[in-house]
């Protein structure tokens, strides 16, 4: 079996990841999405903080909102396709958490830009080039569960570290989303970490699939830590967090998880970019077009419809 265990005892998995939960102050090892999490109580129409450019704030909220919106749609593709009903429900709940974040952030973006666009217009009436999500969010999993877990582990570890730094944002809506999102993403990351351990330190086949999934996802990691011009200005204004500052925490978490799962950290070149431009600047993979074609089809056929 090449040194891999045929299964993972429940208490071993719990002990392995208690330290991960402690990095965010969460001490409940249960998997229960939304447990103890209260609804965000932020006023979307709060004034733009003094000294903050409204266009920069709108762009930043779109970035964070688009990441959550597009990835939540991808996660919904697993409903009825996961290995077990329990995983269908788990991934659907993760998707709903991210959709909730997206709705608030896109509503805030619409208010900040002052162009009369609400969350629905921003979700359903923009073109590919107008979306500002990272490439990782738009990838398809091709119904490979190991790939879904690898992407969730990377995405949730990165976003958790980012939102943790946004708890003190000068923008009250971003701070409120971070307050709720940190609790949600703690569960998302723990869920992904447990499955990474189960697959990586499982059978030869599960180990191979998990390693191959990480290799596929890894070229999209570097983009997560690049900053845009808007982010630079908003960091100085106390609104945004520098994604580069999350790299050390991300590496520490992934290093611990992969070591316990007997997996190797991939050594893959980042995806090609044009002068450092990528998803944040509207340059996307062909996968985003497929997502938007499905996600926006009904709204485009019946513009302005209310249900």
DSSP letter string over 114-175? TSS--HHHHHHS--GGG----HHHH---TT-HHHHHHHHHHHHHHHHHHHHTTTT-SSHHHH
Nearest alpha carbon to residue 250 among 226, 283, 224: 224
Instruction: Give 10's contacts (C-beta < 8 A, 6+ positions apart).
Output: none
Res 270: pLDDT: 83
Q: Residue 198 pLDDT more than 60?
A: yes
Q: Residue 307 pLDDT more than 80?
A: no
Q: Rounded to whole angstroms, how far apart are CA atoms 56 and 74?
A: 27
Q: Which residue has the higher pLDDT, 25 or 79?
A: 79
Whether residue 19 lies inside any domain: the answer is no
Within 13 Å of residue 231, how many CA atoms lie on the same side as its CB?
Answer: 18
Whether residue 293 lies inside any domain: the answer is yes
Q: Residue 16 pLDDT more than 90?
A: no
Rounded to the nearest 10°, the torsion over CA 158, 161, 164, 165 is -100
Res 241: pLDDT: 98
**Are 94 and 37 within 8 A, CB to CB?**
no
* pLDDT mean over 197-222: 97
* pLDDT mean over 81-91: 93
Chain segment 213-266, per-residue pLDDT in tens: 999 999 999 999 999 999 999 999 999 999 999 999 999 999 999 999 999 999
* Cβ count within 10 A of residue 233: 17
Chain segment 274-299, per-residue pLDDT in tens: 556 788 998 898 899 988 998 998 88
Q: Which long-range contacts (CB under 8 A, 24 or more apart) does 71-76 make?
A: 71/98, 71/133, 71/136, 71/137, 71/138, 71/155, 72/96, 72/97, 72/98, 72/99, 72/102, 73/291, 73/294, 73/295, 74/137, 74/138, 74/139, 74/140, 74/141, 74/291, 75/148, 75/152
* pLDDT mean over 121-138: 95
Res 217: pLDDT: 96
Residue 59, domain extent: 50-300
Res 246: pLDDT: 97
Whether residue 207 lies inside any domain: the answer is yes
Angle between helices 145-164 and 85-113 (to 10 degrees): 40
Res 273: pLDDT: 58
Instruction: Give 293's contacts (C-beta < 8 A, 6+ positions apart).
Output: none
* pLDDT mean over 59-66: 98
Whether residue 26 lies inside any domain: the answer is no
Whether residue 33 lies inside any domain: the answer is no
Res 88: pLDDT: 93
Give the model's confidence band at 37: pLDDT under 50 very low, under 70 low, under 90 confident, else very high: very low
Whether residue 195 lies inside any domain: the answer is yes
Rounded to the nearest 10°, the torsion over CA 301, 305, 70, 160 is 180
Q: Residue 195 pLDDT more than 70?
A: yes
Whether residue 137 lies inside any domain: the answer is yes
Angle between helices 145-164 and 54-76 (to 10 degrees): 150
Domains in the chain, number: 1
Tell me the pLDDT of the chain averaged across its residues.
Answer: 87
Res 74: pLDDT: 95
* pLDDT mean over 26-55: 63
Q: Is the whole-model pTM more than 0.75?
A: yes
Q: What is the CATH number of the domain that holds 248?
A: 1.20.1260.10
Whether residue 99 lies inside any domain: the answer is yes
């Amino acid at each position: 079996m090449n040194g891999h265990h045929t299964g993972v005892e429940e208490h071993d998995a719990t002990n392995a990841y208690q330290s991960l939960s402690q990095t965010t102050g969460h001490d409940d090892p249960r998997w229960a999405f939304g447990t103890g999490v209260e609804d965000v109580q932020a006023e979307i129409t709060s004034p733009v903080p003094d000294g903050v450019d409204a266009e920069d704030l709108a762009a930043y909220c779109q970035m964070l909102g688009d990441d959550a919106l597009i990835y939540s749609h991808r996660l919904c593709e697993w409903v009825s396709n996961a290995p077990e009903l329990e995983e269908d429900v788990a991934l659907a709940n993760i998707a709903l958490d991210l959709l909730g974040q997206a709705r608030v952030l896109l509503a805030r973006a619409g208010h900040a830009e002052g162009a009369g666009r609400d969350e629905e217009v921003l979700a359903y009436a923009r073109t590919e080039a107008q979306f500002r999500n990272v490439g990782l969010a738009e990838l398809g999993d091709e119904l490979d569960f190991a790939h879904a877990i690898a992407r969730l582990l990377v995405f949730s570890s990165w976003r958790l570290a980012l939102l943790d730094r946004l708890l003190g944002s000068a923008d009250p809506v971003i701070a409120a989303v971070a307050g709720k999102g940190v609790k949600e993403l703690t569960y998302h990351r723990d869920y992904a970490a447990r499955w990474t351990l189960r697959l990586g330190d499982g059978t030869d086949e599960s180990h191979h699939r998990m390693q191959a999934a990480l290799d596929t996802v890894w070229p999209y990691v570097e983009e997560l830590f690049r900053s845009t011009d808007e982010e630079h200005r908003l960091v100085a204004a106390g609104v945004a967090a520098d994604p580069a500052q999350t790299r050390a925490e991300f590496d520490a978490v992934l290093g611990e998880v992969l070591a316990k799962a007997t997996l190797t950290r991939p050594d893959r070149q980042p995806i090609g970019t044009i002068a450092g431009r990528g998803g944040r600047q509207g340059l996307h993979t062909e996968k985003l077009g497929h997502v938007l074609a499905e996600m926006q089809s009904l709204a485009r056929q019946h513009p302005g419809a209310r249900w």
